[in-house]
Chains A and B, each alone.
Chain A
Amino acid sequence: MNPASQLIPLFVVIPLSGAFLIALMGKKLKWLPDFTGTFLTLVLFILSLVAIKPTDLYHTLVYSVGAWKPPIGISLVQDGLTVLMLVVVNLVVFCIALYSINYMERFTSKWKFYTLFFLMLAGMNGVIVTGDLFNLYVFLEIASVASFALVAFGTERHELEAAFKYAVMSSVGSLFVLLGIAMLYGYTGTLNMADMSVVLVHKGEGKLIAMISVFFIMGFGLKAALVPFHSWLPDAHPSAPAPISAMLSGVLIKALGVYTLCRIFFNVIGITPAILSVFMFMGALSMVVGVFLAIGQWDMKRLLAYHSISQIGYVILGIGLGTPLGILGGLFHLFNHSVFKSLLFLNSGAVEYSTGTRDLQEMGGLSQKMPVTSGTSLIASMSIAGVPPFNGFWSKLLIIIAAVQAGRYGYAFWAVLASILTLASFMKVMKYAFYGSLREKWASVIEVPVFMKLAMVILAFFCVAGGLLLVPSVQGVFLQQAQAVLVEGLQYGSRALGVIGSG
């Protein structure tokens, strides 16, 4: 086994042990939750950066849990797509942990928050690294259950209502996923994703595969909040505490929804033109419906939540185009969206922390009192609206160029339209919240504490510098590795199994 593959289990082990440690001792030792939260997430972020190099060298790394040789045991697989997702998740989570040090002071039981936080992180990292379909379901549920509890964390009327709605809908989604997994197991007789794709290539397309595809699109589409299944998101994401909103919108819907859709349809079942056109249609629909619903909102976090639906639509549209450029654009937009959307949610949390309101009509002129928050918020708004040279511009440009190249002029048009509407709605946010004249009652508002500022500045830096990921030498080791995994499609199976054969 390759020595570099020994690092893969750490992505699950570290957050799980963090959750255990905090649950055990966090109540007594007041400093422990903050310290472990920041330290362990920093370690995870560094580990995810370390993982880029060996993946570039060896392409696919496999770790067999308990030394059971695949396809019998559970295997953890690390390839380009995995590394991309790991970097995205752990970067955002590190900033959020930093932010939570100050923000979560208002809540009574900080250690419970960190325990659930680490469980959710363990679930997400687990979903990303696992190479076993049932194991994927288990991690999916760990992340989901932790997120239900975190949405209800405030235990007020709205939080509870949103959490209940989210929990019921998400459970139904998971049931469809499990049903699909059961059918796929019955059809192929294996649970290892690599082995499964090899078996499916031999068995060929059946009617059952079409049914399983529908189940997976329903289940994972619900987790990703694509438009027919989106109704839980605008309730659940604003109700959580701000760091958790950032985590849910920034990374959870991507790790649990978009990543799993890509992995299963491109690498396991095998992508077909029919599924691609479903992806494109749902992506475009989410893009347009999300932005239209967002534009009329006055609750800042709710507005941001609707934009998440819209931006996820861009990602799915890009990936659904199926061309290498489209996939590159989709994955790049996935990275960018997680950075700027987390930043926007952290900004809204900062405003709420200082003023106590989320209603845009009550704010105004806050840029005089909160320069860091308004500055980073301006950067994030420009990024999400696709203004050059911020990162959102480049990924949207790639997606639109790819759509034109593929001859999908209609989808390109909708992408441009949604981008303009996004710009309009963020101009509204900036105008009402941060610019204009300062209201009488906000005269005593002060800027947020230092760790919150630091977290926002780090994310803002990535918004500005994100475009550099397209520089050829950087792109070759990071984005193109992930793109290659999806473009190669079913070769995933033989690669992940072949690595084992050679040692």
Chain B
Amino acid sequence: MSVYLLCLVLFCVGLYCILRKRNVIKIIVGVVIAEYAVNLFLALVAYRFEGRAPIFSPDQKILNMVDALPQALVLTAIVISLATTALLVGIAMRIYEKYGTFDITKIKELKG
């Protein structure tokens, strides 16, 4: 149970970082932390207590195997988050070129 709570805490750290930080790079780090928390949650969903690796062999019974599917999902989710992060960092670099700052309180020309 405590693992799930820690996972939730990690997610909240990410969200806090996105909502409260003023630096563009820190916001991106916040997104990444929140993504890790969700990936961790997916892996936890698959976990079975005292489980073993899901490899089937003739002399073993199918007992307590961890679920292999979410692990494949996590791999996909990581690839997607890599694409998002790369794009975010690319945009952040361009923002720095144009505005000369990473502070989002100074980057707000769009209003209304």
Give the interface of A toward B (CB within 8 A).
134, 137-138, 141, 145, 148-149, 152, 155-158, 160-165, 167-168, 171-172, 175, 178-179, 182-183, 185-186, 191, 234-235, 239, 293, 296-297, 302
Contact = CB atoms under 8 A, between A and B. Distances in A.
The interface residues of chain B, by DSSP majority, are classed as helix
15 contacts: A141-B80, A141-B83, A141-B84, A148-B87, A156-B98, A157-B109, A158-B110, A164-B92, A172-B31, A175-B38, A178-B42, A179-B11, A183-B45, A185-B69, A239-B110
Contact of B88 (A155, A158, A167): A167
B31 A152 contact: no
Contacts of B15: 172
B73 interface: yes
A134 B70 CA distance: 10
B31 A191 contact: no
A260 B15 CA distance: 24
B3 to A, nearest CB: 14
Given A158-B110, A178-B77, A191-B69, A186 B91 contact: no
Contact of A179 (B18, B38, B84): B38
Most buried by A among B11, B15, B98: B98
A319 to B, nearest CB: 28
Contacts of B52: none
Given A175-B34, A179-B41, A239-B110, 18 more contacts: A145-B83, A152-B94, A155-B94, A158-B110, A161-B95, A161-B109, A163-B91, A164-B91, A171-B31, A171-B35, A171-B84, A171-B88, A182-B70, A183-B45, A185-B69, A185-B70, A186-B45, A293-B112
A361 to B, nearest CB: 15
Given A149-B87, A172-B31, A302-B112, A161 B107 contact: yes
Contacts of B34: 172, 175
A255 B34 CA distance: 25
Contacts of B95: 160-161, 164
B45 to A, nearest CB: 4
A231 B42 CA distance: 29
B66 interface: no
Interface string B19-62: 00000100110010011001001100100000000000000000
Nearest to B28: A168
A162 B110 contact: yes
Contacts of A148: 84, 87, 91
B47 to A, nearest CB: 10
Interface string B66-78: 0001100100110
B2 to A, nearest CB: 17
Contact of B99 (A134, A155, A157, A185): A157
A134 B99 CA distance: 38
